[in-house]
Structure 1
Amino acid sequence: MSSTFHGLETSLRGLRTHQSALNTTGHNISNASTPGYSRQRVNFSQTEPYPAAARNRPQVPGQMGTGVEAGTVQRVRESFLDLQFRGENTKSGYWSARSDALQKMEEVMNEPSDHGLAKTMDRFWQSLQDLVVNPEDSGARSVVRQRGVALAETFNYLSTSLNSIRDDFKTQIDVTTKEINSIAEQINDINRQISEIEPHGYLPNDLYDKRDGLVDRLSELANVKVTAVGSGGQALDIAEGKYTVELLDSNGNSIGNLVDGSTLSTNGLSITDSDGNGEFDQFALGGATGALDQLGQGKLKGLLESHGFESGGSVKGIYPDMLADLDEMAYRFVSAFNTQHQAGNDLNGANGGNFFAFTSAVDATTFAGAASKLTLDNNISGANGLSNIAASMDGNPGDGSNALNLADVKDQTLAFNTGNATFQSYFEGAIGEMAVSAQQANRLVENSNTLKQSVEERRQSVSGVSLDEEMTKMMQFQHAYNAAARNITSIDEMLDRIINGMGRVGR
C-alpha cells in the first residue's frame, strides 16, 4: 500500500521540477542578447513508479506514478550546423584576406587613372614625340628630362608602397599566429575546467558555449577539425567532453594537434624563416615542421599567400609576383631605352650615353629591386644634361630621328621571362591579372559570406533564444507550478480531514 503522503511527495516533485524549468527559462531570457549563447532546456523525466518490480513487492493492482524530476539542463545545439559554419568561416577568412590584399594593391597601382604608371609612361612617350619636332629646343628637352624623372619616381613609389604593405602583412602574420596560439590555450583551459565538472554528472553548458565561440573564431584563422574526448567518471552520455583541435592541410588531412583533449596540452604554431634569407618558408607545430604550401585555407594562409613565401627555391605570392613584374619591366625598359639612346647623338654630335640608371647594381637574372632603384643617369640629370639627350642620328642638331626611335621603344617587342611582349602589353597583362584575381576574390568572399550567413541563421533558429517562445514556456511552466501547488492544497485538506476529523463520531 502506498504512503498516506504519496500525493504530497508527487506534487512536491512537480513544484520543484517546474520551478527549475522557470529558472532555466529566466536564464534564457536574460541571455537573449548574449553573443554565442545557446538556449537551454530542462529535460523532464518520470520518476520510478511504485511499487518496483521485486519478489517482495506489495500485492497492489498495477504500478502507480510517483511524479516528475528534472533530469538534466541541456543546451540546444546541432553539431552538424557548427561543422558547416566553421567550414564556410574558414573559406571566408581565406578569401577576405586575399581580397583585402588585392584591394590595397589596386589602390597603389591606381590603374586606370591620370596618376598611374601607364599615364606617366604615355606622357613620357609624348614628350619624346614633341622633341622630334623641336630637337634643339631646350624647353622640349627639359620636358623629356622631367617626364623621365616622373617615370622613375613612379616606379620608385609603386615598389616602395608595395613593399611597405608587404611588411604590414608580415606583422599581421605574426599577430594572427599569436592569436591562434592564444585561442588554443584558452580552449585548453576550458577543457581542463570541463574535465573537472563532467565526471560529477553535470553539464557545464556555459563553458560549452564559450569553447564553441573560440573554435568558431579559430576556424576563421585556420582550417581546423574538432574531435570530442570523454571526461570519464560519472559523465553523462550527453556530456560533450574535451575538445581535441587538429590543424588541417590543404587536402583536409591532419597536420598535428593545436589542442590535445586527452593530455590537456597545446602545441604552439609558428611561421619561420629556416634559412635566414628574410622569407617565410615553413611552419612549426610542436616538434613537427612542414612547407607552407601544406597549410589549409583560413586567414593565415590568405595572409601568407599575399605576403609571399619561399617554395621550391623561389618566392611566390600576390605581392612578390607584382614586385617581380615591376622590377622586370623597369629593367627591360631601361635596357632597351638606353641601348637606343646610345645609338644617337647629342647636341654636340657626340654619341649618347645612358638616359636611365640604377642607384646600385641590379642582378640581370632576378632584376630584384630594379623598380625601386630606377633614376636618371648623371649624364642626363647633371648641369649639361639637356644637351646630352641624344635626339639625332647623324650628329645634326636639327635632326630628331633618334627621338622618334626612342618614342618607338614603347612598341618594341622585349624578351620578358614569360614571353615576348611590348612594354605596354606586358604591363596591361600584369594589371589585368591583378584585376581578375581581385574580382575572383571579391566574388568568393561574397559567396562564402552568404553561405556562412545562411548557416548561421539556421544555427540561430535552433540555438538562439526566441523571447516569444520563452514567454510561452514561462506561462506553461507557471500554470503547471500553480496546478501542482493546488494539488498539494487539495491533499492537505484531505489529510486534515483524516487527522483532525476522523474518530469524532458520537462525541
Structure 2
Amino acid sequence: MRSTFTNIEISKRSLFTQQAALQTTGHNIANANTRGFSRQVVHMVAARPIEAPGLMRSDVPGQMGQSVEFDAITRVREQFLDKQFYNESKGFGEWSVRRDTLEKLEAIINEPSETGIRKVLDGFWNAWQELSKQPDNLEARAVVKESALALTDAFNHAARQLKDLSADLTDNIDVKTSEVNSLLGQIKSLNHEIYRIETLGNNANDLRDQRDVLLDDLSKIINITSVEEEQGYTVRMGNVELVNGDTAVPFDLNMVNANYVVDGTGNLNSGELFGLMYSKNKLVVEYQNQLDSLVSTMANGINSVHKQGYTLKEPTELGQDFFVFVPQTTPPTSLSERMRVNTVITNNVENIAASKATYTDANGVLKVVRGNNELALQIAGIRNQKFNFDTSGIDKIILNGGTFDEFLRAVVGEIGVQTQEANRQANNQQILVEQIDARRQAVSGVSLDEEMANMIKFQHAYNAAARALTAADEVLDKIINGMGVVGR
C-alpha cells in the first residue's frame, strides 16, 4: 500500500531544495561586486524513486518518484580562461614596468627642452667661441668657467637621478619579492584548507575563489603555471616548483637572482618582477653607460687640446686637464657623477689656456701671445668634430663616429623608440587582459538580472511546494477527522 504521508515527505524535500537554491541566489547577489567571486549554482537531482511493494513485482506501473534533492553546490568556472589570463597578465606586468622606467629615463634626459644637457652643452661651446674673440679677457674666461661648472652639474645631476632610479627599482624588487613570498604562503594555506574541507565531501567554493584571486595577483608579478592536483594547486615558475599542496618554497632575492637572465631565457622570464630586474640591470645601466661614454670622450678630447695651449700665468705655463674625475667611492659611482672642473681653473681663470703662440722677449724670456686665440678656437671647434666614443665596459654604444650633439640626439632617439614600443606593448597587453577578464566574467560573473529571474523561479517553486504540503495536510485531516466513527 502507498503511504499517506509520502506527499508530506515529497513536499518537505522540495521545500529544503528550493530554499537552498534561494539561499545560493542570495549569496550570489550579495557578492555581485566581490572581486574574483564565481557565481554558484545548486545541482538539483530527482530523489531516488521507490517501487510499491509486491510479492513478485510492483503492480504499479513505473516507479514512485520521491521529490527532489540537491547533491552539490558548485561554482561556475572555466580553467582554460584562467590559464589564458595568467599568460597575458604576466606580459602586462612586465611591459607596464618597462614603460614606467623608460618614461622616468625620458624625464631624466629631458630632451628636447630648453633646460636639458644639450642646452647646457651648447652654452659651453658658445663660451669658448666668445673667448676666442677676446682671449685675454678675464670676464670671458669667467664665462667659460661658469659654463663648464654648469655642464658638470648637469652631468652630475643626471647621474644621481639615474642612481636614485636604480635604488628605487631595487626597493621595488624587494617589495615584489616579499609580495610573491606572501602570496605563495597564502596559496599553500588555502590548498591545505580546501583539501581538508573537500575530503569531507563538501565543495569549498568561496575558498577556491580566494585562491584563484591570489593566482591572478601572482601571475602579474611573475610568470606562473598552475596544475590542480589531489592536494591542491601545484604552482611553478618555469621549471621551479613554488607550491605543491601544503608546501611552499621560500621566495627571496637569491631565488630571483638565480632564475633571472637578462635575455629572458631563465625561469623568471616575465611579469613585474622580471620587468623591474630588466629595468635596473639593462635599461638604467645601459643609459648610464652611454652618459659615461659621452663624458669620458668629451673630457679626454678637451683635456688633450687644453694641455697644448698656454695660460696667462708668468712664467709661461702649459694648460692642465680642464676636466678631472674625483676618486671612486664606496659604493661605486659613475664617471658622469665624478666629473668636475679642475680646481686650478675654478680657483683662477688665468689657468684657462686659450693661446698656442709664444715669443721670446729681449731678455730671452719665453712669453705667451695673449691675443692669440688658436687654442680657444680649436676647443670651440670640438663641437663639430666626430669622435669614436669610449666603449670600455659597454655592451653596445648607441652611436660611434659622430659629434657630441649627434650622440645625445641618438640617445634621446633610442629612449623615445623604446618608450613608444613599451607603451604599445603595455596597451596591447592591457587590452588582452581586459578581454579575457570580460570573457571570464561572462562565464563566472554574477548577472543581477539572471539572479533576480532565478529568485522568482525558486520562490514560486518554494510556494508551490508549500501549497502541496498544505494539500497533503488537508487530506490527512479529512482521513483522520472526517472518516469513520471511531471516537465519536
TM (norm. structure 1) is 0.87
CA distance in 2, matches of 1:155, 1:342: 23
Matched, 1:455 2:418: no
The amino acid that maps onto 1:265 is: T
RMSD (Å), alpha carbons = 2.4
Matched, 1:282 2:289: no
CA distance in 1, matches of 2:54, 2:343: 110
CA distance in 2, matches of 1:116, 1:52: 96
- SS at 1:112 equivalent: coil
Q: How does 1:57-76 map to 2 (within 5 A)?
A: 57-76=57-76
Aligned match of 1:467: 448
Q: How does 1:408-419 map to 2 (within 5 A)?
A: 408-416=381-389, 417=391, 418=397, 419=400
Matched, 1:484 2:465: yes
Aligned length in residues:
464
Partner of residue 393 from structure 1, selected from 356, 360, 376:
356
Q: How does 1:107-506 map to 2 (within 5 A)?
A: 107-231=107-231, 242-248=232-238, 255-261=239-245, 264-272=246-254, 281-283=257-259, 293-294=265-266, 295-308=268-281, 317-348=282-313, 350-360=317-327, 369-382=334-347, 384=348, 386-394=349-357, 395-416=368-389, 417=391, 418=397, 419-504=400-485
CA distance in 2, matches of 1:456, 1:486: 44
Per the alignment, do residues 170 and 57 of structure 1 end up closer, same or farther by CA in structure 2, a change over 3 Å counting?
Answer: farther
State the shift of 1:282 in Å. Answer: 2.5
- Unpaired runs of 5+ residues, structure 1, are 232-241, 249-254, 274-279, 309-316
Per the alignment, do residues 408 and 496 of structure 1 end up closer, same or farther by CA in structure 2, a change over 3 Å counting?
Answer: same
CA distance in 1, matches of 2:133, 2:328: 36
Mean Cα displacement is larger for which, 444-453 or 289-298? 289-298
State the shift of 1:368 in Å. Answer: 7.0
TM (norm. structure 2) is 0.90
Q: Does structure 1 conserve the Cα–Cα contact (< 8 Å) formed by 2:188 and 2:248? A: yes
State the shift of 1:258 in Å. Answer: 0.9
- SS at 1:74 equivalent: strand
CA distance in 2, matches of 1:456, 1:225: 18
State the shift of 1:454 in Å. Answer: 1.4
Per the alignment, do residues 141 and 432 of structure 1 end up closer, same or farther by CA in structure 2, a change over 3 Å counting?
Answer: same
State the shift of 1:65 in Å. Answer: 1.8
Per the alignment, do residues 290 and 10 of structure 1 end up closer, same or farther by CA in structure 2, a change over 3 Å counting?
Answer: farther
Q: Residue deviations 1:170-215, cap 9 Å, x none?
A: 1111111111111000000001101111011100111001100100
State the shift of 1:35 in Å. Answer: 1.9
The amino acid that maps onto 1:355 is: F
Aligned match of 2:78: 78
- Unpaired runs of 5+ residues, structure 2, are 358-367, 392-396
Q: Does structure 2 conserve the Cα–Cα contact (< 8 Å) formed by 1:222 and 1:247? A: yes
CA distance in 2, matches of 1:33, 1:447: 26
Aligned match of 2:27: 27
CA distance in 2, matches of 1:293, 1:127: 50
Mean Cα displacement is larger for which, 330-339 or 406-415? 406-415
Q: Does structure 1 conserve the Cα–Cα contact (< 8 Å) formed by 2:52 and 2:58? A: no
Q: Residue deviations 1:351-393, cap 9 Å, x none?
A: 222111111269xxxx9721111001122112x2x11211122
